[in-house]
Amino acid sequence: MSMLLKNFIPLCVVLFTVVACNNNCSESDLIVAIVPQPNDMVQQEGAFTVNSKTAFVLPENEKLAASVDLINQRFVRAAGFALKTTSEKPGKNYIAVEMDPSFSQGSEAYELTVTTTGVTVKAASERGAFYGLMTMLQLLPPEIESPTLAKDACWTMPCIRVNDEPRFIWRGMHLDVCRHFVPVEFIKKQLDVMAMFKMNTFHWHLTEDQGWRIEIKKYPLLTELGSKRIEGDGSEYGGYYTQDEIKEVVAYAAERFINVVPEIELPGHSLAALVGYPHLSCTGGPFQVRNVWGVEPDVYCAGKEETFQFLEDIIDEVVPLFPYEYFHIGGDESPKDRWKECADCQKRIKAEGLKDEHELQSYFVQRIEKVLLAHGKKMIGWDEILEGGLAPSATVMSWRGEAGGIEAAKQGHDVVMTPGGWVYLDHYQGDSKVEPVAIGGYTTLEKSYGYDPVPAELEGELAKHVLGTQGNVWSEYMYTPELFEHRIYPRIIALAEVGWTLKENKDFPDFLKRMDPQFVRLDYHGINYHIPLPEGLVNLVAFTDTANLEFTSTRSVKMVYTIDGSEPDQNSTVYESPLIFTDHATVKIRSVLNSGKMSSVRTIQVEKQELVPAVAVETTNAGLKGKYAEGTFIWVKDIESVQSWTDIVVTKENLGTINNYQSPTAAVLAGYFEIPEDGVYEFKTNFDQFFIGDKLLINNDGEVKRFSRNNAMIALAKGKHPVKIIYLNNNIGGFPQSWNHFVVEYKKAGDEQYTTVKLEDFTY
């Protein structure tokens, strides 16, 4: 389809004259801002108002009736009335749904026509009709999504014709509930929003090294033991879904025309299963559910027949819960270390005439494929399933870039393109110093929106193998439901448009305009979406003469600030140019969306400082001197309870004494380091606390120390300066402190590159 925008002004934000509206509606109530962008849309004159006498006209059809009920629930909540349903179309004041099998070859296609007398949705399938109704809802004001009565809303929509169908048949979201678990109601909430934006696939990642999350009745230890882990602070973390809850979610998704794909990881990422059934490993265990992130070397043993019987039994229970044709088997990041040392695995390699452990994985996956085919299922897996030979009917989910998807498509296999650099929603979407801690990466809203699932190598005939794309939500650093949503939205909505809208009809500035009312809809659903924060500075800015504070953001948003210590609001001073200071100040600044929704507040302490003088000491011994104690210490205050310390000089050679996450410790260390010239310097480190002289410069106490987030500045004179380091070798939030480099980094204000101070660069 081609985009027809007759008489539309730029950016598709169109104001219509109100016609026949019973309420006092202004033109601004009628904004055409549909997401995903329809592929064929024509403006017409006039408008239609829904009221308590409007009739829903539909043929006798159970699925259509369920869709209409979802629409009616909105009117009951937000408008205070329900639309009556009938099979007889009146002359006016109707919303009619018409089924026509010959309407389009696309099962998800629809035509929506709004005139001054009524609304008509035509489609060849119930799914297409549902999408037409979702578009209709977006023509109404955002208040239609309100959970309570919206007294002043005007239920008027502009006259328009939309003829639409998606570019791709797979428009999905993956959700990892293993690293961090979410309840059923949270999943339903996300399914509601996915449906609003015509997403049709929910990929449910149910098993991992860090937790088994689905009830298997034949193997109760999978959940009795495998669903629970002991965190680094000694607390127990767990949760799983009963089979009844699984059915509930699948049914809920089906009502919204969302297919649910289960993922049962194999042969790797399987430690949680081995905890209860260690005989299925190569070593026999014993095991504990992994409480740190990363990849576990212990996997299912490929040489034992019991392994395959176990997995077949699990599949026998899981398949009936998920009617969709696809079944995801993982297949990624499966280390071969244990297989190389395992007599059973080596025997299997020899017996099957396999070349190596990569072909053994291919053998493993192909055996599982046969089990799934016997159940009438299509197997899908991460792109590692290509290694050693691809299973005959497998579909590949390409995550390590696009190469795996390209290779699979060239072999004639279908692919879902999910390259981490564009669609991994656990990545940072802003400056790591101001955003909540994440796994890494940098994937802005604009970058996600700009992704094209069909690489140049697959254009033409091979493009038919690209089923679509999905956003992948990996939950290592999503410690609360609110953090899940903060990472998911609005990037998943950008990917909804990537999956639906033709490439030539996409436009990022226009998308941002159309998102303005969508943010209001998300507010009504209680979604904690990401709002870009003011970026560009650390939270402690030091200067000796004049400070110049310049703020940026990942997209164009208004920023407001105060310098009197008060919280900024919509009426505060708008940031338009760098702020200049010649004395101490406290700057509080936040972003404001067009809807009026505000971001959290950033507080910047601005300090005018004199150069801290260097000290005249002779120190030549490399390392740090201090004391350490064994035990689990989460907060710095916890070391106050230590009864017995051990003196230590920490050098590069003995760092492991205090730096092994399996043997937690605390250390208080002191020494000196040298500054090359007078100046103002910015420091960063992941140590729990870092002092220069008596000044606590960086305080990471109690935080997940994945990346340095509390950088700070200080004015220092050339020469040696005393430092104190408090180092807690703990595991907070699944990330051990010992995984960080034992370093401090600094740079002179205005410089780009940091200088690294390693352990051997300190002296005592």
Instruction: Give residue 30's pLDDT.
Output: 80
Segment 427-444 shows an average pLDDT of 97
pLDDT greater than 60 at residue 24: no
Asked whether 47 and 21 are in contact (CB, 8 A), the reply is: yes
pLDDT greater than 80 at residue 627: yes
Segment 647-670 shows an average pLDDT of 95
Is the CATH code 3.20.20.105 the one for domain 10-164? no
CATH class of 624-761: mainly beta
**Catalytic-role residue among 231, 255, 312, 333:** 333
Instruction: Give residue 102's pLDDT.
Output: 86
Confidence band, pLDDT 50/70/90 cuts, at residue 619: confident
Instruction: Give residue 755's pLDDT.
Output: 98
Residue 16 has a CB neighbour count (10 Å cut-off) of 21
Tokens 């389009």 locate to 104
Domain locations along the chain: 10-164, 170-524, 540-608, 624-761
Instruction: Give residue 9's pLDDT.
Output: 34
Confidence band, pLDDT 50/70/90 cuts, at residue 25: low
pLDDT greater than 90 at residue 287: yes
Superfamily of 170-524 according to CATH: Glycosidases (3.20.20.80)
Question: Which secondary structure element, helix H or strand E, spans residue 264, and what is its range?
Answer: strand 259-266
Cα(495)–Cα(176) distance, rounded to whole angstroms?
A: 18
For domain 540-608, which CATH number applies: 2.60.40, 1.10.10, 3.10.530, 3.90.1570?
Answer: 2.60.40
Instruction: Give residue 4's pLDDT.
Output: 37
Question: Which secondary structure element, helix H or strand E, spans residue 173, and what is its range?
Answer: strand 170-176
Partner residues linked to 622 by β-bridges: 763
Show the CA angle centred on residue 176, arms to residues 170 and 179, nearest 5°. 170
Tens-place pLDDT, residues 203-215: 999 999 999 999 9
pLDDT greater than 90 at residue 12: no
Is 111 labeled as catalytic in the residue annotation? no
pLDDT greater than 50 at residue 498: yes
H helices of 81-179, in order, are 126-139
Segment 442-470 shows an average pLDDT of 98
End-to-end CA gap in the chain: 72
Tens-place pLDDT, residues 155-171: 999 999 999 999 999 99
Asked whether 609 and 549 are in contact (CB, 8 A), the reply is: no
Segment 274-302 shows an average pLDDT of 98
Specify the pTM.
0.95
pLDDT greater than 80 at residue 109: yes
405: DSSP letter: H
Cα(278)–Cα(292) distance, rounded to whole angstroms?
A: 20
